[in-house]
Chain A
Amino acid sequence: MSYGTNPNNPSSSNFEPYSFNDDFAGSFDDEGASLRQPPVQGDLASVTIPVTVSGNMGPANLSGGGAGTLKPALDTLDEPVWDTVRRDLLSIWAKLRQVLLPRKDNTANILKDWDLWGPLLLCLALSLRLSITAADGQAPAVFTAIFVIVWCGAAAVTLNSKLLGGKMSFFQSVCVLGYCLFPLVLGAVVCAFIPLIFVRIIVVGVTFAWAVYASIGFLSDLGLEKRRALAVYPMVLFYFVIAWMVLISKSLFN
């Protein structure tokens, strides 16, 4: 395939500034991408100047997690779907474990690789659980309210930290706030089976404190000295509102 050939006389090679090697077109017919180097034509005296193309020419990485890092050497098109899904579920689970047992040493590493699947799953779980036991006719309203509170609340808290001068990336912060909902989701599921208000207060209180402690641990290195309370308060308010919605929801038994 030549660029710039005379269409009337394809055999004429008077004006051929670029000529793509045939291998360039051929690599699209292969299944799965592979690194393909067209052979270099080293004849400097010829008019044609081959363009060497290198790099992974295949389709984009199709793993469903949308993880932040590319894995150029991994070919995910041929593997079973379950493997792809399992890899992302394991990554979500690793982050949830990080939230459950916040450790000081590697807090920065795992959540830099942000994804929004975990927060979405947690938000859906929470909204479903709270709308199941809502008042008559209010189940859609409760579902919507929880959904909006979680996403708009996370966005508002993140914007607040950024505007006060914090240095966290937007989606990373939303990811952290979403993952730190995990204790509250656990608390909501547990509270579904406890009709006694005093036990619920204890359960919700513990999970609320846990969620706040985890999120402050992740978002603590923002570089705000005299404004720490201003940055932390919206986080506390966010988790308090969600904890309150969990507390006042009915259980399955009354």
Chain B
Amino acid sequence: MSSNYDVLTDLDPPVDNSPEAQLEFQNFVLSDEQKSSYGKGPTPNRGVPSTGSGANFGFSTPAPGPQMQQTAQARGGFWTVEYYSQYFNVDTADVIQRMLATVIPGRQFSEVLGSNPDLYGPFWIATTVIFSFFVASSVAGSIAALLDPSSTSYVYDMATLSVAVTVIYTFVTVIPLILWAVLKYFKGPANLLELIDAYGYALAIWIPVSLLCIIPLSIVTWVLVMVAFASTVLFKVRTIRPIVSQTNDKFASTLVLSAIVITDGALALLFRFYFFP
């Protein structure tokens, strides 16, 4: 940080000191190029917040260059609604692209996010997954009751909705938080928002899988659950392995990667056995 302050930057507009110019009306209003050149300063990255690497919590305040100061003040504190609108700065195409990137192996997920991790995707995908679990569970239950000649009419169980809510929201918030804490403990680079995004967007595959599991064949259900489990685990390992390998600690790598596999497996098993008995 000290290198930013080594060079003196002249913030006054250039003044023409010739005798003729002194008598004329001088314009001290900065033109746009002059303003932008003062903002850049000696180091080009001084005003730009880094969210890719570097251990920031996602609530980073940027080092204020002149044009950055305005946006930092306009956002307000983290208790206002306007602060969070910076995490909703995505278009429809972005969200779809991010969802596809979790299923189709291609670029690294952190490249797809760029410097713009969002909270829209994780929240609404998690909510959709909750309701698709509930919908699929109730339809599968009623189809099973229909096919089974001995049972009477099926009544849905409200408890499945509560369980789904708890499990999915915990999965998307608490587990990335724990991973982030572990990575920070081992002095690795970790960005909480990117981890939440990875977990949130990776849940997207469960939406079609849960709806297809309405088909009352148990082999179909098993295959679909295996496919979803494999897809999410591979995606998360592919995304988080580069981060955790930067700690240069074998123990940390095995710990984090096995935690990912175990939690994903737990979700898959819960899905298979609780929602589709």
A interface residues, Cβ below 8 angstroms from B: 134-135, 138, 141-142, 145, 156, 159-160, 162-165, 226-230, 233-234, 237, 240-241, 244, 248, 250, 254
Residues of A within 8 A of B155 (CB): 134-135, 250
A227 CA to B121 CA, complexed, in Å: 13
Check B186 for interface membership: any CB of A closer than 8 A. Answer: no
Given contacts A142-B158, A159-B81, are A230 and B91 in contact (CB under 8 A)?
yes
Task: Select from chain A the residue with minimum beta-carbon distance to B138.
Answer: A248
Residues of A within 8 A of B91 (CB): 226-227, 230
Sample of 24 A–B contacts (CB below 8 Å): A134-B155, A135-B156, A138-B158, A141-B158, A145-B161, A163-B81, A163-B85, A163-B87, A163-B120, A164-B88, A164-B120, A165-B85, A227-B92, A228-B92, A230-B90, A230-B92, A237-B127, A237-B128, A240-B131, A241-B131, A244-B131, A248-B156, A250-B155, A254-B153
A158 CA to B158 CA, complexed, in Å: 26
Check B157 for interface membership: any CB of A closer than 8 A. Answer: yes
A254 CA to B155 CA, complexed, in Å: 11
B interface size (C-beta, 8 A): 26
Check B93 for interface membership: any CB of A closer than 8 A. Answer: yes
Residues of B within 8 A of A141 (CB): 158-159, 162
Check B124 for interface membership: any CB of A closer than 8 A. Answer: yes
Residues of A within 8 A of B157 (CB): 135, 138
Closest 7 CB pairs of A and B: A163-B88, A226-B91, A135-B155, A229-B92, A141-B158, A163-B85, A248-B156
B interface residues, Cβ below 8 angstroms from A: 81, 84-85, 87-88, 90-93, 95, 120, 124, 127-128, 131, 135, 138, 142, 153, 155-159, 161-162
A135 CA to B160 CA, complexed, in Å: 13
A230 CA to B84 CA, complexed, in Å: 16
Task: Select from chain B the residue with minimum beta-carbon distance to A144.
Answer: B158
Smallest beta-carbon distance B77→chain A, Å: 16
Task: Select from chain A the residue with minimum beta-carbon distance to B154.
Answer: A248
Residues of A within 8 A of B128 (CB): 237
Smallest beta-carbon distance A81→chain B, Å: 39
Smallest beta-carbon distance B226→chain A, Å: 28
Partner of A145, one of B85, B124, B127, B158: B158
Q: A226, B92: Cβ atoms under 8 Å?
A: yes
A164 CA to B155 CA, complexed, in Å: 39
Residues of B within 8 A of A142 (CB): 158
Residues of B within 8 A of A159 (CB): 81
Smallest beta-carbon distance A89→chain B, Å: 33
Residues of A within 8 A of B87 (CB): 163
Smallest beta-carbon distance B94→chain A, Å: 9
Residue among A138, A162, A163, A228 with max Cβ neighbours from chain B (10 Å): A163
Smallest beta-carbon distance A158→chain B, Å: 10
